[in-house]
Amino acid sequence: MLSHFIAGLFAGLIRRRPWADDSTQAPSPFCNALRHSPESIWWLGEGEHRAQWRRACRLLPALRASTPAFHYSCNQGKQSNAGDSMLPLAARLAFEYFLGAPQWHLREVREPTTAAGLAEVNKLGVAVLVGGGGLLYPNNAVSRQTISGWQWVVSEPHLRSFEAPLFLSGVGWNGFRGDGVQAWPSSGQRAAFDRSLVALLSPAAAPRLVGLRETYSLDAIRQISGALVDRELLPSGAPAERITYQPCATTLLRSIDPRLSGRKRLGLGLGLTRALGGEGVNDRRSRVLSVNVAFDHPEARFGSAADVNSVMDDLVEWCHRAHQAGWEIHMTMQMTGDTLLLE
């Protein structure tokens, strides 16, 4: 399905011709690796899938640095954790790896879109990237409005009017304990979200793709969109054509740039392994298990204080067993306060 989006983006590029007129334009890093060092992208697999990408790379020149592309994400202000701080950059790095590096125009996803801003995107942009992050989480403070019902504060008419290919990249539902798809702060917000989803998934002149980063996000959006199909607000095939699994771009960084896989960049590194009685294995063949226990919403994640202690005891035991089975344990923190598992 991502290939369909790339094909749609290619059609937009043909229309706006964002690459150099000569033949010296270099391919994207991905296409260059596919041609010259295919073993470095082992994760692509073999067979027809790889062959499809080879054909696409022959057709698609990399975007040049003067090509405008727009990115709606949490691009402004201080973020509360490491993941949210890295997400926008990671999304752009992933885009650039496959398609080349455009001239990015950064837009704050939490600020309402305007007619003037939409006109600028339609005049200049060859692509619109949205995300990543838990933008679909209904209980977020920014989501609690009746313009869109989610963290991208974009009205339904504006959402329908984007002319460039639009890609939600690795966004999430971010459901916590007790948060089902029916748990909405208000009926007005839910109605706004439904309108947004219909606008995203309905047939449009420009390609649209909703990339969701994990299975429960996929399940939630498929359930909601299925209800919209039942109400005849969406064509029956629309959700399947536009909803896909798209992992969070932060999980792709090691493949995109091996320099980002350095051991010194993994938070506390070997701290937990040593706490469990080992020194860790330093060669690249070692099996590394990275454990992240976030405490920004402890009640929603774990329940009562007694539940937190029980979960920590179980996790410590689980890490002991994993270490004994040959895994090197890394404690990776998203916030400086995420240390309870080490205490």
Does a structural domain hold residue 220? yes
| Rounded-to-integer distance, Cα 140 and Cα 132, Å | 15
Q: pLDDT tens for residues 178-195?
A: 666 667 889 999 999 999
Domain annotation covers residue 85: yes
- Same structural domain, 240 and 268: no
Q: What's the pLDDT score for residue 299?
A: 76
Q: Is the pLDDT of residue 260 over 80?
A: no
Do residues 332 and 306 share a domain? Answer: yes
Do 234 and 282 belong together in one domain? Answer: no
If you average pLDDT over residues 126-137, what whole number do you get? 91
Amino acid at 16: R
Co-location of 71 and 173 in the same domain: yes
Cβ neighbours for 68, distance < 8 A, ≥ 6 positions apart: 102, 103, 105, 124, 125, 126
Whether residues 242 and 270 share a domain: the answer is no
CA 309 vs CA 289, 298, 306: distances in Å: 22, 11, 5
Q: Is residue 47 situated within a structural domain?
A: no
pLDDT at 72: 96
136 and 243 share one domain: yes
Domain encompassing residue 269: 264-342
Residue 169 per-residue DSSP state:
E
207 and 299 both lie in a single domain: no
- In this predicted structure, the answer to whether residue 54 has a pLDDT above a threshold of 60 is yes
Please state, rounded to an integer, the average pLDDT across all residues of the chain: 81
Assess whether pLDDT exceeds 90 at residue 120.
Answer: yes
Q: Which two tokens stand for residue 289?
A: 């298990």
Identify the domain boundary among 223, 252, 281: 252
Q: Is residue 218 part of a domain?
A: yes
Assess whether 193 and 83 both reside in one domain.
Answer: yes
pLDDT (tens digit, 9 = 90+) per residue, 267-285? 433 344 444 444 443 444 5
278 or 84, which is more confident:
84
**Residue 297 resides in a domain:** yes
Compute CA distances 255 → 47, 95, 130, whole Å.
20, 13, 21
Please give the pLDDT value at position 199: 95
Kindly state whether residues 319 and 242 are assigned to the same domain.
no
Instruction: Please give the share of the chain, as a percent, with pLDDT higher than 90.
Output: 33
If pLDDT is split at 50, 70 and 90, which confidence band does 338 have? confident
Q: Give the CB-side neighbour count of residue 28, counting CA atoms within 13 A.
A: 25
* Residue 332 domain flag: yes
Q: Same domain, yes or no, for 189 and 109?
A: yes
Angle subtended at Cα 88 by Cα 174 and Cα 334, rounded to the nearest 5 degrees: 55
Domain boundary among the residues 228, 252, 276 is at 252
Average pLDDT over residues 202-227: 89
Last residue of a domain, one of 226, 252, 278: 252
* Same-domain pairing of 233 and 325: no
Total number of domains constituting the chain: 2
Better pLDDT: 47 or 6: 47
CA distance 250 to 234: 32
Q: What is the pLDDT of residue 49?
A: 78
Please state the pTM of the whole predicted model: 0.82
pLDDT of residue 192: 97
Is pLDDT at 286 greater than 70 in this prediction? no
Q: What is the mean pLDDT of residues 119-129?
A: 92
CA distance 39 to 52: 17
Same domain, 272 and 333: yes
